[in-house]
Amino acid sequence: MITLFKSLLQMVNVRKFWVIRNKNISMRTPQGVSAARIKRFTKENVKQFYDILEPELNKINFNPSRVYNVDETGITAVQHKHTKIIGLKAELMDGAPPGSIGKCHPSGWIQSHIFKEWIDHFIKHSKPSREDPIILSLDGHYTHTRNLDVINKARENHITLICLPPHSTHKLQPLDVALMAPLKTYYCQEIENWLKSNPGRTVSPYQIASLLGKAYVRAASLEISINGFRKCGIIPFNRDIFRDHDFAIHEKLETSLQDDGTKKEIPLETDSEKQITDTPADKSKPHIVILQNVLIQQNAKTSIVENKSDFVKPGDLNPLPSLPGPSGIKRKNSGSAALVSGSPYKTALEESQSPKITKTLKEK
């Protein structure tokens, strides 16, 4: 037990010393990323998005005041428990951020008609015109990209709708990148403060708007907004904002697959490097192990490490995680970045929805 504790202590000290020597490295808590986001956040998808965005930014002379992003998120009266509201009373909006509107649905999710009402609200405050158009980026939710009422409204009011690539909002959506996390953190803090000031009571739907309003004022700062658009490479426009390491795991997956999609075996060591046997090592004799480019000569008393290269890369010690290969089942509409308000997209959407409309009319 004492030996194990000493070993762990040595590992912690080595890690701290390594961080101190490398000033450009900091300790951070890893964040979980879904396999779908890793697979779909590719150089090709990102390039396609910037190829659509750049000419639209040229049309507005890269004016940052005319570039917007929209997204939805969920908040509750009690953490980890969803509160459903069937009817919306005026009191439920008490204390909401100035200029807010309130809508509801029994499911608790955004709906096409609700998003259309939000677009009307957005147009009222942003006031787009032919001389002063607007760019609005959004994710590929069906209420955004499969909503003809919204697309027509945007075209009539000089709003350019640009859909982000699928499973890439954690990198390309300013609200996800910069605002949502601090907003929810401040919202939880406001709940805690309210509970301390009101002992014995619970937060009800009537307090949500007020608590959210206080959290929003703290989170919606100019600095956070600027950082969100900058980190996404939107304003200022920078199509090279993402480096090779941002796509490293996806590229590792791609190189590990055959042309037909089947997974191929990648040897970890060559035959000349494989010196490990199944028989136990004799402690009285030197035990030689060659692993990648590191030669280790070890016996009972000494341990000598000779590195054939100048340094050992972090990936040699802790390689990137691997992902399972494709299942062979391809989704019909995998989605991609698109100019949603453009004529080709609108025409294709109308053609895809016309059979459904005809079928509905016949049933009636």
96 close to 213: Cβ distance less than 8 angstroms: yes
Residue 288 in domain: no
What ranges in 60-156 are assigned the alpha helix state H?
Answer: 112-126, 142-145, 148-156
The whole-number pLDDT of residue 1 equals: 52
Report the pLDDT value the prediction gives residue 178, as an integer from 0 to 100. Answer: 95
Q: What is the residue range of 212's domain?
A: 35-250
Q: Cβ distance 217 to 97 under 8 Å?
A: yes
User: Cα separations (Å) of 215 from 81, 103, 104, 179?
Assistant: 19, 20, 21, 11
Mean pLDDT, rounded, for 178-202: 93
d(CA 98, CA 116): 20
User: Considering its fold, how many domains does the chain have in total?
Assistant: 1
Give the tens place of pLDDT for each residue, 79-133.
Answer: 444 444 445 677 888 889 888 988 888 888 899 999 999 999 999 999 999 999 9
Q: What is the mean pLDDT of residues 189-206?
A: 92
Parallel/antiparallel/unpaired status of strands 294-298 and 287-291: antiparallel
pLDDT digits (tens, 9 = 90+) for 122-160: 999 999 999 999 999 999 999 999 999 999 999 999 999
Lowest mean pLDDT among 34-48, 187-201, 278-292: 278-292
Q: Which long-range contacts (CB under 8 A, 24 or more apart) does 346-349 make?
A: 346/148, 346/151, 346/152, 346/155, 349/146, 349/148, 349/151
pLDDT band, residue 22 (cuts 50/70/90):
low
Computed on alpha carbons and rounded to an integer, the radius of gyration of the chain in Å comes to: 27
pLDDT at 330 over 50: no
- How many angstroms separate the CA atoms of 15 and 4, rounded? 17
**Residue given tokens 């954690």 in the structure block:** 170
Does residue 2 have a pLDDT over 60?
no
Residue 198 lies in a domain: yes
Rounded-to-integer distance, Cα 110 and Cα 91, Å = 21
pLDDT value of position 62: 94
Average pLDDT over residues 312-337: 59
- For the chain, the straight-line distance linking the first and the last C-alpha, in angstroms and rounded, comes to 76
- Confirm whether 85 is domain-assigned: yes
What is the percent of the chain with per-residue pLDDT over 90, rounded to a whole number? 45
Provide the 10 A C-beta neighbour count for residue 217: 12
359 in a structural domain: no
- The number of angstroms, rounded, from the C-alpha of 283 to the middle of its chain's C-alpha atoms is 51
SS3 138: strand
Q: Which pLDDT tens digit goes with each residue over 260-293?
A: 455 444 443 444 444 434 444 444 444 434 334 4
Q: Which two tokens stand for residue 188?
A: 């939880």
Instruction: Specify if 175 maps to a domain.
Output: yes
DSSP state of 177: I
Helix (H, G, I), strand (E, B) or coil at 209: helix
Q: What share of the chain is helix, strand, coil (3-state, %, to 5)?
A: 45, 10, 45
Q: For the chain, give the percent of residues with pLDDT over 70.
A: 59
Q: Is the pLDDT of residue 6 over 80?
A: no
Instruction: Indicate the Cα dihedral angle 65, 66, 71, 75, nearest 10°.
Output: 40
On whether residue 296 sits in a domain, the answer given is no
pLDDT of residue 9: 47
Q: Is residue 301 part of a domain?
A: no
Lowest mean pLDDT among 255-259, 271-275, 279-283, 351-355: 271-275
Question: What's the distance, CA 235 to chain centroid?
Answer: 18
Q: Is the pLDDT of residue 208 over 60?
A: yes
**Residue 187 CA, distance from chain mean position:** 21
What local confidence, expressed as pLDDT, does residue 120 receive?
96
Output the average pLDDT for the chain: 76
Indicate the helix (H) or strand (E) that contains 160: strand 159-163
pLDDT of residue 17: 57
Total-model pTM: 0.68
How far apart CA 122 and CA 99 sit, in angstroms, is 10
Distance CA(290)–CA(313), nearest Å, equals: 16
Residues 173-195, mean pLDDT to the nearest whole number: 94
Confidence at residue 144, expressed as pLDDT on a 0 to 100 scale: 94
Mean pLDDT for the stretch of residues 218-235: 95
Lowest mean pLDDT among 6-15, 41-50, 86-95: 6-15
**Strand 159-163, strand 287-291: pairing:** unpaired
Distances from the Cα of 104 to the Cα of 97, 111, 144, angstroms: 17, 9, 17
pLDDT of the residue at 350: 92
Do strands 303-307 and 67-69 pair parallel, antiparallel, or not at all (unpaired)?
A: unpaired
- Is 45 inside any structural domain? yes
